Structure 1
Amino acid sequence: MEEWKIKQQKVREFLRAKDLSAFIFSRRSSFAWLTDGGESCVNEASIMGDAHLVITPERLYVIAPNNEMNRLLEEVLGDQGYEPLSYSWWENGIPTIEKLFKAGRVGSDMALPGCVDLYQEVKRLRYNLMPGEQERIRILGKRAADILSEVCRQIHPGDSEIKIAGVVKGKMDSEGIATPVVLVAADDRITRYRHPLPTEKEVERLVMVVVCARRWGLTVALTRMVHFGSVPRILSERFREVNTILARLISATTPGKPIKEIFSLAIQTYAELGYPYEWKNHHQGGPIGYDTREYLASPECDDIVLPAQGFAWNPTLPGVKAEDTILALEEEQEILTVGKDWPTQIIETDRGKLEMPDILTL
């Protein structure tokens, strides 16, 4: 059975469980999930797509302006069974939705008139990735890591953060990979800022590049660091420490494990390494998939790791950061963002050794 059919079944089971007569999906992330990677959005900056997908117990509808409908039907939705309900491009699509559902309890994935916003609940249906999604995110993770490796090897002292970010975006974009997040920090900005938006600052000795890469609606995240000349001992030691935190987080991310237990391990590791409060200075990441993070892990989080769920952990210490994306499988934690020709270091964990990216020396 095609994956989109199984997803439609999941939504209909959700309708029965929540006593809903229909559910309206308006977010681009929801559209991508339901259509196995389709894109509904023209404006890259928008969370809301240019089409609403409506699922009822018996029928499927796509509601979109007339200038978008043909593309959606011909290039995205195909034979997935959605009946088109078009409105003029200068009109608001909300009245079309309201006419469709004059009675009954209707759920939605964002605030819409007359609907119950159940996004935080319905998006859980997409957390554990199906086989096709697993293959797509594997391809994305490998290619994103390879591209970032290629770009990092071309960096030279004197390059600006903005220039580096532009090269990353250009290389990714040329292969159909969007970059909702690209952060670049040179030298002291790595220590000063946890989310360093690129500036005109030029690289002297050290640079950090952070990327969230998206294709087929799916997202991976990774961070790489580059140093020109011999890496100072204190930087090398600190990077091994942050890699130790990341490796322990990865090894603990097993299906069925409560998120709060994994987070407690991170806090414990920070303390063991001599940084008892450092975890408070930046989030540690969490599940990843159709959003850059489906939610952020925390000490109070009540969720558990699901089988075949994507995770991107990103611990930081002053001046260093480590980040990679994994699949939490029953038999292993598969690291997806492994690039070619990148130096690595071996980190011991309770579940064995992990090979983790090191600082690239040029």
Structure 2
Amino acid sequence: MTDDLGEKLVRLGALAERRGLDTLVLREQASISWLTGARSHVPQTLDTSCLDLVVHFGGAGPAGPGKRAEGAASTGRPASLTAVANAIEAPRLRDTELADLPLDWTVVPWWEDRSASLPTGASVGSDRPGPDMVDVRADLAAVRRQLTIRQAETLAAVCADAAAATTAAIRRCSLGMTEYEAAGLLTEELLARALDPVVLMVAADRRGAAHRHPLPTTAPITDRVMLVCCGRRDGLIASVTRFRCFQPPTSAERDTYRRLLEVEAAFLDATRVGTSIGRAFAAGTAAYAANGFDTDEWHRHHQGGFSGWQPREYPAHSGSTDPITDNSVVAWNPSGEGWKVEDACLVTPAGPRLLVEDADWPTVIVAGRRRPDLFTG
């Protein structure tokens, strides 16, 4: 996903110029994925990257001449890119994840700290800054929050595949199967579609009412099952929640689920370019009481927020001031009385475009949008 590299370097060049910097050091997985589309992790369970990327503006890099990236910066400051990795990871990264990028390499022994090979000083900014770097975490988060056209297309494909994987897995679930076995099916379906499962949760029957983050257990499915996943490809993440009821839900259960979709609609209606994520959050949480839920229902679980390069950039709350921008990604996550709904949406000037869709999943129209219904049988 490097055909938009020039556009992204223009954005980084503008950030650097605004902050009076000539070098940016990207250390966070989200930042590296945003720039390169590459996987920078080794263990899925850690957010630590296995390499650092040094982006230097103005010709020769801080540690010698670097390769110029095409279309680097509108300011006329060409960019050079240097990857800093240890001797274990460098060959794999060079041959696979970063093979198409115009990079120089700094390779260190695996027993040495990569930090010693990174540039420092008043003209160097980083998203994970050391003591002699400028902190640009908030600046970089704002830059990567707005997807390029190419990234938006990739996210749509990731979301469609994650939805299809969840549908396939939940159709294979059966009564008596344990939550772990159901999680295995979901993992299989995600990996078959080249999606890394970065979040995986299963709730048999009504366990989801008590445990909002139900990691799988050996509990058997005897009535219904909830599957939850976050699938990642090219650094972009889709969030999916689906329910299967093996017995027809009661009218009261259907009513509760429908009211929860109305709460989600309030979040989505308030998700507009130019408003703050905190204002959209406040509109959504106010809808709980308006739709017959406990006024404090939202206290029991976070409601989502900015997504895209992380399952959640941070849990949004009423004091969150970051603006919702065109082509940003928001994933709301309302839940209540044992039910939950979740989707990733791309924010456009016309409103949020919901992405986690599968033609094989039953739907219901809520506030003019096609939303996932309960799968029965």
Q: 1:171 to 1:51 in 2, by over 3 A?
A: same
Instruction: Tell me what 2:16 maps to.
Output: 15
TM superposition shift of 1:29: 1.9
> What SS is found at the alignment partner of 1:196?
coil
TM superposition shift of 1:107: 1.7
Q: Quick one: distance in 1 between partners of 2:100 and 2:278?
A: 42
Instruction: Tell me what 1:265 maps to.
Output: 283
Q: Quick one: distance in 2 between partners of 1:285 and 1:28?
A: 20
More moved, 155-164 vs 2-11: 2-11
Unaligned runs of 5+ in 2: 59-79
Q: Quick one: distance in 1 between partners of 2:211 and 2:29?
A: 30
Describe how 1:40-189 pairs up with structure 2 within 5 A. 40-58=40-58, 59-78=80-99, 80-97=101-118, 100-101=119-120, 103-189=121-207
TM superposition shift of 1:206: 1.6
Instruction: Tell me what 1:282 maps to.
Output: 301
Is 2:369 the counterpart of 1:354?
yes
Is 2:243 the counterpart of 1:225?
yes
User: TM-score, normalised on structure 1?
Assistant: 0.93
Instruction: Tell me what 2:361 maps to.
Output: 342
> What SS is found at the alignment partner of 2:305?
strand
Aligned residue among 310, 322, 327 for 2:329? 310
- Count of residues paired in the alignment: 354
TM superposition shift of 1:161: 0.8
Q: Quick one: distance in 2 between partners of 1:79 and 1:214?
A: 20
1:156-180 residue CA offsets vs partner (Å, 9 max, x unmatched): 1111111111111122112220111
TM superposition shift of 1:294: 1.7
Q: Quick one: distance in 2 between partners of 1:190 and 1:73?
A: 43
1:171-230 residue CA offsets vs partner (Å, 9 max, x unmatched): 211222011111111123121111111111111112111111111000010111111121
> What SS is found at the alignment partner of 2:256?
helix
1:261-313 residue CA offsets vs partner (Å, 9 max, x unmatched): 22222122111112211111111101111111122221111122110111111
User: TM-score, normalised on structure 2?
Assistant: 0.89
Contact 1:219 1:292 in 2 (8 A): yes
Contact 2:264 2:334 in 1 (8 A): yes
Q: Quick one: distance in 2 between partners of 1:357 and 1:81?
A: 43
> What SS is found at the alignment partner of 1:56?
strand
Q: Quick one: distance in 2 between partners of 1:80 and 1:114?
A: 28
1:218-250 residue CA offsets vs partner (Å, 9 max, x unmatched): 001011111112111111110001111112222
Q: Quick one: distance in 1 between partners of 2:246 and 2:259?
A: 21
Is 2:236 the counterpart of 1:212?
no
> What SS is found at the alignment partner of 1:123?
helix
> What SS is found at the alignment partner of 1:300?
coil
TM superposition shift of 1:71: 3.0
Contact 1:12 1:55 in 2 (8 A): no
Q: Quick one: distance in 2 between partners of 1:40 and 1:146?
A: 26
More moved, 72-81 vs 238-247: 72-81
Q: What amino acid is aligned across from residue 44 of structure 2 in structure 1?
A: E
> What SS is found at the alignment partner of 2:344?
strand
TM superposition shift of 1:118: 2.6
> What SS is found at the alignment partner of 1:323?
coil
Q: Percent of aligned pairs with the same residue?
A: 29
Q: Quick one: distance in 2 between partners of 1:264 and 1:40?
A: 35
Q: 1:31 to 1:319 in 2, by over 3 A?
A: same
Q: 1:47 to 1:117 in 2, by over 3 A?
A: farther
Q: Quick one: distance in 1 between partners of 2:185 and 2:258?
A: 28
Contact 2:122 2:132 in 1 (8 A): no
More moved, 155-164 vs 61-70: 61-70
Unaligned runs of 5+ in 1: none
More moved, 69-78 vs 159-168: 69-78
TM superposition shift of 1:111: 4.2
More moved, 224-233 vs 43-52: 43-52
Contact 2:363 2:370 in 1 (8 A): yes
Q: What amino acid is aligned across from residue 19 of structure 2 in structure 1?
A: K
